[in-house]
């Protein structure tokens, strides 16, 4: 029987141990197998930015594949502990059964006037990958077999990790020369293009369609004033024919990141011959909430599809190598 995550609820005494994200640590991951917790992968302005590393139930193996999870939260909230919540935990469990090491990271978060922008989130996530490559032997992982995954803002970050050029996002000088090119990416309801505000419009919400603009630029003005910044944060501007495979999963009644984002990138991929799979979940809002009925496929099936996609990328590569 596989070893599982458990959740340890933290009380008021834990306030002093909040992560770099600044978000309330209301659920701490506790992995029954071997793990390295709160590993500092970089320091910025005196702040430590950390990751957790979880080994498969069968024990630590040499050169294991990696599922690299990047949490959501609008680039302004959340923490690596989100990997322990039931929605994400099942995916960790399923890939761990197949020998994956699972990694969940913190990254710097945007707050008004704190100087942190979406680009910094991307850079931190890339530095986490660089840290793993630099220390691959120590942690028993294969940096050439990494599948990245994220939800919402983390979905956009996972897309960026899979599609964008790491050279455009230099980070910690100590990690220079360790760029990682993931084998594949998986995005749950992540935005694909910030340059087209129409993608953020929906009859389901009256939210400002350019509501993430300040998180991209730190200033008013939008795409008209900052086209390069908007394009750099939009995965659709990075995808190429030879980009790694990408799985997009999107709810059809999502009012936070509307449905249009997934087919928008899928259509571009089809035009250029890139490998992008898309799964549309009916009756699903953000975080796979019920919206107009029960989601189809349901959460358990969504988790299974996600885990199997990650495993299939590793197995496909193994088969090609053996030929």
Strands 184-188 and 101-105 come out as unpaired
Q: Hey, is 57 helix, strand or coil?
A: coil
What per-residue confidence (pLDDT) applies to 30?
A: 59
Q: For residue 285, give the CATH number of its domain.
A: 3.40.50.1820
Q: How many Cα atoms sit within 13 Å of 3 on the Cβ side?
A: 14
pLDDT number for residue 32: 72
Higher pLDDT, 317 or 53: 53
Instruction: Give pLDDT tens digits for 264-290.
Output: 999 999 999 999 999 999 999 999 999
Q: Could you give phi then psi for residue 186, rounded to 5 degrees?
A: -140, 130
Identify the domain containing residue 165 by its residue range: 5-322
Q: Which helix (H) or strand (E) holds 64?
A: strand 64-70
> Could you give the C-alpha distances from 37 to 90, 194, 240, in angstroms and in order?
19, 34, 36
What mean pLDDT value characterizes the chain?
Answer: 89
Averaged pLDDT for residues 136-153: 97
pLDDT reported for residue 84: 84
Distance CA 130, CA 150 (A): 18
Query: Is residue 110 packed enough to be buried (19+ CB in 10 Å), middle (13-18) or exposed (0-12)?
Result: buried
| Total Cβ atoms within 10 A of residue 9 | 8
Cα–Cα distance, 135 to 150 (Å, whole number) = 23
Task: Using the predicted structure, report yes or no on whether residue 20 has a pLDDT greater than 50.
Answer: no
For 125-136, write each residue's pLDDT tens digit. Answer: 999 999 999 999
pLDDT digit string (tens) for 218-260?
999 999 999 999 999 999 999 999 999 999 999 999 999 999 9
| pLDDT band (50, 70, 90) for residue 192 | very high
Rounded to whole angstroms, the Cα distance separating 255 from 247 reads 20
The domain total for the chain is 1
Number of other CB atoms surrounding residue 252 within 10 Å: 17
Length of the chain: 323
Region for 140 from its dihedrals, namely left if φ exceeds 0, alpha if ψ lies in -120 to 50, beta otherwise = left
pTM of the model: 0.90
Q: Are 234 and 192 spatial neighbours (Cβ–Cβ below 8 Å)?
A: yes
């Amino acid at each position: 029987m596989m070893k599982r995550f458990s959740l340890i609820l933290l009380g008021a005494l834990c306030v002093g141990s909040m992560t770099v994200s600044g978000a309330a640590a209301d659920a701490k991951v506790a992995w029954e197998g071997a793990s390295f917790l709160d590993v500092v992968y970089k320091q910025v302005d005196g702040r430590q930015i950390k990751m957790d590393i979880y080994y498969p139930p069968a024990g630590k193996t040499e050169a294991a594949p990696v599922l690299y999870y990047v949490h959501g939260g609008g680039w302004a909230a959340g923490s690596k502990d989100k990997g322990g919540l039931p929605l994400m935990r099942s995916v960790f469990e399923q890939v761990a059964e197949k020998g994956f090491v699972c990694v969940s990271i913190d990254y710097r978060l945007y707050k008004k006037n704190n100087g942190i922008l979406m680009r910094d989130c991307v850079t931190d996530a890339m530095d986490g990958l660089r840290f793993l490559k630099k220390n691959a032997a120590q942690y028993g992982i294969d940096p050439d077999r990494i599948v990245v995954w994220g939800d919402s803002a983390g979905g956009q970050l996972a897309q960026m990790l899979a599609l964008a050029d790491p050279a455009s996002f230099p980070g910690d000088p100590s990690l220079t020369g360790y760029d990682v090119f993931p084998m594949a990416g998986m995005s749950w309801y992540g935005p694909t293009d910030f340059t087209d505000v129409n993608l953020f419009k929906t009859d389901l919400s009256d939210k400002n369609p350019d509501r993430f603009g300040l998180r991209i630029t730190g200033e008013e003005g939008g795409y008209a004033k900052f086209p390069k910044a908007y394009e750099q944060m939009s995965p659709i501007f990075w995808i190429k024919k030879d980009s790694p495979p990408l799985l997009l999963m999107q709810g059809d009644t999502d009012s936070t990141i509307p449905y249009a984002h997934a087919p928008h990138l899928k259509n571009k991929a089809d035009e250029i011959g890139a490998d992008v799979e898309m799964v549309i979940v009916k009756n699903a809002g953000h975080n796979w909430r019920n919206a107009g009925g029960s989601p189809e496929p349901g959460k358990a099936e969504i988790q299974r599809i996600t885990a199997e996609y990650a495993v299939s990328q590793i197995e496909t590569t193994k088969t090609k190598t053996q030929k």
